[in-house]
């Protein structure tokens, strides 16, 4: 629970990881390139006081993870969203066993989501059944840019992906977190295209699709899809730290999101260990849309409460103290879109 000036906030960090990118775990040059890319994100967008050395960035371990994520008891609950990256790392990037052990030791504080790759075919379906039972899965983290043999990416509307979503439905895995990395296949098209989210969300209306990075670098496409599909949500991973380096840009992202998809479908996340949640929560509670940017309404404390925790808590049935619960807002003026207004979809 975070408290500031008499206001209380229930905090859910909806995207954290326990990774191992140390050289001994790197399978090849791409393992190094991947963590270097993450480190540049971290170094570029962090305040000086929050910047880590490259060495400490490679691996944190469970003890430090708990210290960082739950620093000052600000974060109430965090959700693991592990990336497998088996082609880049010997023992994978996300550390399944260590994260699961932490989750078992701290069931009130942690939820473990796992991942699947539809290119694993039938064997992968069996594995998903076993994983769902072992981890009591409510959600999965899917990284569509994952490499797999000769394939360097997949789409949510691939026929095999649908087989997996059908199984998710059967197993009660309702929360599908989608990380749209640069999907390389086929190269002819936009690697960050989020249109496949649209198709999958339309065909699986009983599953929630949480698009991480709120679709960035395709914010506009994400907003448009989310206005039309009420089961599409936005995760603020990677968008959050702009609050420090580019607060005006951050204001525009939040302003656009609230305008297009509303305050009930946006989830806070630090993307730990890319960044730590403490400074992001503190900055967000203090944040306000700049006064001269009057085309966006000022953000309210209740909107911040929803984004910082209530929205994710609701999706994951995480208990929230009664006095901190809030009702849903009415539908935004932009959606869901009616068929007669579909002509605008070509804008």
Partner 1 sequence: MSTAIALLALTEHDVMRALDAVIDPELDEPITDLGFVRSVRFTDVGVEVHLRLPTSFCAPNFAYLMASDAKDALTALPEIGTVIVELDDHHDSGIINAGLASDAGYRGTFRHEAESDLEELRAVFQRKAHTAAMERALTALLRSRSDLLEADVAGVTLGDLPDDGAKEALLRRRETLGLDIRADSLVLVDDLGVPYPAASAALALRRARSTRISIDGNAHFCRGLLATRYPGSEDDQAPRAEETFFPLTDLIRTTRRSVA
Q: Please report, as ranges, the residues that interact with partner 1 according to CB under 8 A.
A: 29-30, 33-34, 36-37, 40-41, 43-45, 145, 150, 152, 181-182, 184-192, 216-220, 223-224, 242, 245-246, 248-249, 252-253, 256, 259-260, 290, 292-295, 334, 341, 343-344, 346-347
State how beta strands 7-9 and 12-16 pair: unpaired
The tokens describing 209, both together, are 């699709």
Q: Which is nearer to partner 1, 150 or 317 (CB)?
A: 150
Q: Which is nearer to partner 1, 44 or 205 (CB)?
A: 44
Whether omega before 217 lies within 30 degrees of 0, making that bond cis, reads: yes
Greatest Cα pair distance, the chain, in angstroms, is 57
Q: Which is nearer to partner 1, 322 or 346 (CB)?
A: 346
| Residue 246 CB, nearest approach to partner 1 (Å) | 6
| Residue 43 CB, nearest approach to partner 1 (Å) | 5
The whole-angstrom separation of Cα 198 and Cα 155 is 11
| Residue 253 CB, nearest approach to partner 1 (Å) | 7
230: number of Cβ within 10 Å: 17
Helix (H, G, I), strand (E, B) or coil at 211: strand
List all residues 6 or more positions away from 299 whose beta carbon is below 8 Å from its beta carbon: 254, 258, 287, 288, 289
Measure the N-to-C terminal CA separation of the chain; round to a whole number of Å. 42
Q: Which is nearer to partner 1, 51 or 134 (CB)?
A: 51
| Residue 221 CB, nearest approach to partner 1 (Å) | 8
| Residue 187 CB, nearest approach to partner 1 (Å) | 5
Estimate to the nearest angstrom the gap between the alpha carbon of 200 and the chain centroid.
17
State how beta strands 77-80 and 110-112 pair: parallel
Closest CA to 197 of 179, 213, 185: 179
Q: Which is nearer to partner 1, 232 or 313 (CB)?
A: 232
Q: Which is nearer to partner 1, 78 or 223 (CB)?
A: 223
| Residue 144 CB, nearest approach to partner 1 (Å) | 13
């Amino acid at each position: 629970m975070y408290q500031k000036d008499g206001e209380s906030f229930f905090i859910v960090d909806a995207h954290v990881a326990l990774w191992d990118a140390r050289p001994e775990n790197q399978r090849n040059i791409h393992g190094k390139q991947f963590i270097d890319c993450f480190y540049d994100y971290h170094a570029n967008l962090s305040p000086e006081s929050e910047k880590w050395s490259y060495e400490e960035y490679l691996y944190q371990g469970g003890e430090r993870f708990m210290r960082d994520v739950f620093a000052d008891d600000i974060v109430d609950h965090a959700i693991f969203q592990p990336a497998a990256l088996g082609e880049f790392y010997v023992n994978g990037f996300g550390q399944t066993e260590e994260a699961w052990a932490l989750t078992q030791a701290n069931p009130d504080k942690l939820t473990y989501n796992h991942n699947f790759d539809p290119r694993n075919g039938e064997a992968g379906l069996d594995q998903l059944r076993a994983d769902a039972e072992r981890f009591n899965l409510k959600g999965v983290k899917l990284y569509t840019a994952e490499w797999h043999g000769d394939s360097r990416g997949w789409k949510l509307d691939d026929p095999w992906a649908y087989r997996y979503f059908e199984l998710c439905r059967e197993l009660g895995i309702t929360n599908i977190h989608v990380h749209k990395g640069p999907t390389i296949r086929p190269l002819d098209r936009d690697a960050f295209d989020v249109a496949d989210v649209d198709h999958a969300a339309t065909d699986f209306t009983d599953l929630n699709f949480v698009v991480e990075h709120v679709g960035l670098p395709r914010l506009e496409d994400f907003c448009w899809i989310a206005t039309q599909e009420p089961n599409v949500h936005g995760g603020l991973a990677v968008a959050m730290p702009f609050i420090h380096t580019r607060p005006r840009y951050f204001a525009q992202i939040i302003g656009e999101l609230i305008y297009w998809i509303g305050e009930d479908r946006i989830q806070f996340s630090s993307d730990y260990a890319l960044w730590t949640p403490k400074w992001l929560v503190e900055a967000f509670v203090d944040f306000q849309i700049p006064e001269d940017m009057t085309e966006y309404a000022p953000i309210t404390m209740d909107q911040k409460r929803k984004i910082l925790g209530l929205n994710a808590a609701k999706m994951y049935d995480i208990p929230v103290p009664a006095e901190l619960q809030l009702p849903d807002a009415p539908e935004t003026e932009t959606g869901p879109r009616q068929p007669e207004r579909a002509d605008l979809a070509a804008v």
